[in-house]
């Protein structure tokens, strides 16, 4: 009842699989399948070396629904954990429906030819999952994932209603490269170059990408520039915390990163419009991805910490209060434990936790669910036990910006 099939063999998958193998009380047979088998073999070897656990590996193109369905039939897992790319979400949900297996992911569906992501495409699977008696859990990473659980924890224990919510994502790590992204470069650059959007008084407010900046002093990292961005959990949080007047997402970027990004944008290398090159159609951003460092290779050199959390202001027993819940994760500690840097670690651990809670029935349901719909407490407990401890601070006043 605890067997799992993980799809995708990048940094996030590597962390999740290491953590699953480290917890044999929570997970049974682990099978890892991805587009290129050698990536799975490398993870399997590291898992064997570190924890003495043998995992099965396979090669599959997750965009090929019949091939994935056949693999699921063969492996017979209780849960499919999608740690490939957002492009594969719908195909993997289809394969789960074909074979009667529950589904989990960490990022919402995004079509390849449109840098536009929203939950609508996956929420449309609600009736099909419900009728099949299956469960899909969407967004079980850090953001989305832990940031939504933090918000629900605040709503359950600290505030009666949340009036404003700010999610602050800081990566204070330094990988020593001129320019590299900490997760899949194509997905990362599409996200950062999209217009910013936040939720205010029942509507979305759109502003140009990277046009709103604030400085914030992050615990154990220091003062950093952070920029207003759109992030997918704003959509589910606005749905599940309907009383919120404002919800915003901020991410830190250094000057060097932004200068490189601007140049790459200006010369057209971040475009997703196909162009002809030497008689062949290529997508500039996919070409750029091919020449940038793979995020899973950054672990050996990355030093510093991430600090990601939620600041919520609202009322408790009629009195206005502000709480800040966050986690600090050290890149070198994450690397020592799993061979991956903290951005992969902070996503892979919550994926493992969501999977464990589904497999042991703590979180159960029929249909398509966002993480906000479940009791935050067991998830919060497991964060503390599995490497992502969190802290709660009451702030003297709401954010001033």
Instruction: Report the interface residues with ligand NDP, using CB under 6 A.
Output: 7-13, 34-36, 39, 60-63, 83-86, 88, 106-107, 141-145, 183-184, 187, 295-296, 344, 347
In angstroms, give the least distance from the CB of 16 to ligand NDP. Answer: 9
In angstroms, give the least distance from the CB of 245 to ligand NDP. Answer: 25
Cα–Cα distance measured from residue 163 to residue 242, given in angstroms and rounded to the nearest whole number: 10
In angstroms, give the least distance from the CB of 131 to ligand NDP. Answer: 27
In this structure, are residues 138 and 369 in contact, taking their beta carbons and an 8 Å threshold? yes
Cα–Cα distance measured from residue 60 to residue 68, given in angstroms and rounded to the nearest whole number: 6
**Secondary structure (3-state) at 349:** helix
**Nearer Cβ to ligand NDP (153/314):** 153
In this structure, are residues 68 and 92 in contact, taking their beta carbons and an 8 Å threshold? yes
**Alpha carbon separation from 124 to 49, 93, 107, 121, 131 (Å, rounded):** 42, 11, 16, 5, 13
In angstroms, give the least distance from the CB of 367 to ligand NDP. Answer: 21
**Nearer Cβ to ligand NDP (321/331):** 331
Cα–Cα distance measured from residue 321 to residue 314, given in angstroms and rounded to the nearest whole number: 6
**Nearer Cβ to ligand NDP (70/366):** 70
In this structure, are residues 43 and 108 in contact, taking their beta carbons and an 8 Å threshold? no
**Nearer Cβ to ligand NDP (8/339):** 8
In angstroms, give the least distance from the CB of 179 to ligand NDP. Answer: 16
Cβ neighbors of 342 (< 8 A, separation 6 or more) are 171, 173, 302, 305, 306, 329, 330, 331, 333, 334
In angstroms, give the least distance from the CB of 112 to ligand NDP. Answer: 11
In this structure, are residues 370 and 236 in contact, taking their beta carbons and an 8 Å threshold? yes
Residue number closest to ligand NDP, CB atom? 10
Query: DSSP state, 56?
Result: E
**Nearer Cβ to ligand NDP (11/339):** 11
**Nearer Cβ to ligand NDP (348/367):** 348
């Amino acid at each position: 009842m605890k067997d799992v099939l993980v799809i995708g063999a990048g940094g996030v998958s590597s962390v999740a699989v290491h953590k699953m193998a480290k917890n044999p009380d929570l997970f049974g047979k682990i099978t890892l399948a991805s587009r290129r088998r050698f990536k799975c073999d490398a993870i399997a070897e590291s898992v064997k070396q570190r924890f003495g656990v043998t995992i099965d590996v396979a090669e599959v193109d997750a965009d090929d629904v019949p091939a994935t369905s056949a693999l699921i039939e063969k492996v017979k897992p209780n849960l499919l954990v999608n740690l490939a790319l957002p492009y594969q979400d719908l195909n993997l949900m289809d394969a789960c429906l074909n074979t009667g297996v529950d589904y989990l992911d960490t990022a919402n569906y995004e079509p390849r030819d449109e840098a536009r992501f929203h939950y609508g495409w996956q929420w449309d699977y609600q009736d099909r999952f419900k009728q099949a008696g299956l469960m899909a859990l969407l967004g079980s990473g850090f953001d989305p994932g832990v940031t939504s659980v933090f918000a629900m924890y605040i709503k359950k224990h600290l505030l009666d209603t949340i009036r404003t919510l700010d999610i602050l994502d800081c990566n204070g790590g330094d990988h020593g490269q001129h320019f590299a992204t900490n997760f899949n470069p194509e997905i990362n650059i599409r996200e950062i170059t999209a217009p910013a959007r936040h939720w205010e008084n029942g509507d979305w407010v759109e502003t140009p990408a990277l046009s709103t900046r604030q400085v914030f002093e992050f615990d154990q990292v220091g003062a950093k520039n952070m920029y207003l961005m759109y992030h997918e959990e704003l959509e589910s949080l606005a749905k599940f915390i309907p009383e919120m007047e404002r919800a915003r997402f901020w991410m830190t970027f250094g000057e060097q990163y932004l200068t490189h990004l601007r140049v790459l944008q200006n010369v057209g290398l971040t475009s997703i419009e196909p162009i002809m090159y030497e008689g062949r159609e290529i997508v500039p951003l996919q070409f750029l991805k091919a020449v940038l460092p793979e995020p899973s290779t950054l672990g050996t050199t990355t030093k510093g910490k991430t600090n990601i959390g939620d600041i919520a202001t609202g009322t408790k027993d009629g009195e206005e209060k502000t709480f800040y819940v966050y986690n600090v994760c050290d890149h070198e500690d994450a690397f020592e434990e799993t061979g991956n840097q903290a951005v992969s670690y902070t996503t892979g651990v919550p994926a493992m936790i969501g999977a464990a809670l589904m497999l042991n029935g703590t979180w159960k349901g029929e249909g398509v669910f966002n993480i906000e719909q479940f009791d935050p407490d067991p998830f919060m407990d497991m964060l503390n036990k599995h490497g992502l401890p969190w802290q709660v601070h009451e702030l003297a006043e709401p954010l001033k910006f």
